């Protein structure tokens, strides 16, 4: 029997990975003899991936990169980031309590992220919480990725989840657009990595702390009360 499910985006939603990603970005900037990135300026690009962050940081210093140079810097970034996991990464406040709250109620839990699957698994294993999730699906798990709605729907099905009793938790336009296209209710966190304020993206709900992600909220969004 399919189970109700909560699907989390990873970076900027469930886990604050920005300090480590920015550290790896600075590693790439040092390779180009450039000063460290300004965290306040680059944090909003964290959710766009290494390629975008590196390109933004270099162009911000007036240096245009060729595709080959960018490829080499992305490889350098990924090597540094992977080698230093889990680093300073931490679950956002209330996140672990929310995980336990829904697990105790019988919900499946899953990750749907545009981070590579291997990096996602390695990060969560390093944090000691990988076993909380029935499926961890990254940008390379399938032949498609968010905002393609199949990334979310296939993550749900791989976890044995019920698409009619599913909720997506995310922090960006990509997450909201993905969930909407899949016909899945979406809760946006307002503390993540986004250039666009989540209140203009049209999620079903917005939360500022995981304590606000309650059983009653999820049941209202899915229109189905879990029978224990």
Determine the Cα–Cα distance for residues 60 and 38; give it in Å rounded to an integer: 10
Query: Could you tell me which of 75, 48, 79, 81 has the C-alpha nearest to residue 147?
Result: 48
Phi and psi of 90, rounded to 5°? Answer: -140, 145
Q: Which of 9, 11, 162, 177 is an active site residue?
A: 9
- The token duo for 23 is 């550290």
Return the biggest CA–CA distance within the chain.
60
* 177 tagged catalytic: no
SS3 185: coil
Determine the Cα–Cα distance for residues 166 and 5; give it in Å rounded to an integer: 5
Residues annotated as catalytic are 9
């Amino acid at each position: 029997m399919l189970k109700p499910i909560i699907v989390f985006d990873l970076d900027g939603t469930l886990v604050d990975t920005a300090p480590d990603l920015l550290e790896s970005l600075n590693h790439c900037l040092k390779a180009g003899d450039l000063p460290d990135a300004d965290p306040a300026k680059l944090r909003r690009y964290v959710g766009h991936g290494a390629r975008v962050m590196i390109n933004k940081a270099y162009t911000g210093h007036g240096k245009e990169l060729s595709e080959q140079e960018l490829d080499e810097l992305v490889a350098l970034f990924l090597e540094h980031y992977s080698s230093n996991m889990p680093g300073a990464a931490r679950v956002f406040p209330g996140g672990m309590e929310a995980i336990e709250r829904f697990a105790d109620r019988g919900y499946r839990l899953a990750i749907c992220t545009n981070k590579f699957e291997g990096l996602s698994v390695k990060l969560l294993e390093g944090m000691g919480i990988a076993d909380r999730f029935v499926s961890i699906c990254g940008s390379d798990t399938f032949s498609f990725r968010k905002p393609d709605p199949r990334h979310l729907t296939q993550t749900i099905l791989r976890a044995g989840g019920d698409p009619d009793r599913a909720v997506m938790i995310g922090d960006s336009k990509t997450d909201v657009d993905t969930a909407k296209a899949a016909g899945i209710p979406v809760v946006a966190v307002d503390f993540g990595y986004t250039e666009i304020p989540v209140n203009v993206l049209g999620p079903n709900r917005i939360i500022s702390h995981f304590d606000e992600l309650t059983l009653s909220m999820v049941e209202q969004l899915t229109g189905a009360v879990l029978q224990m």
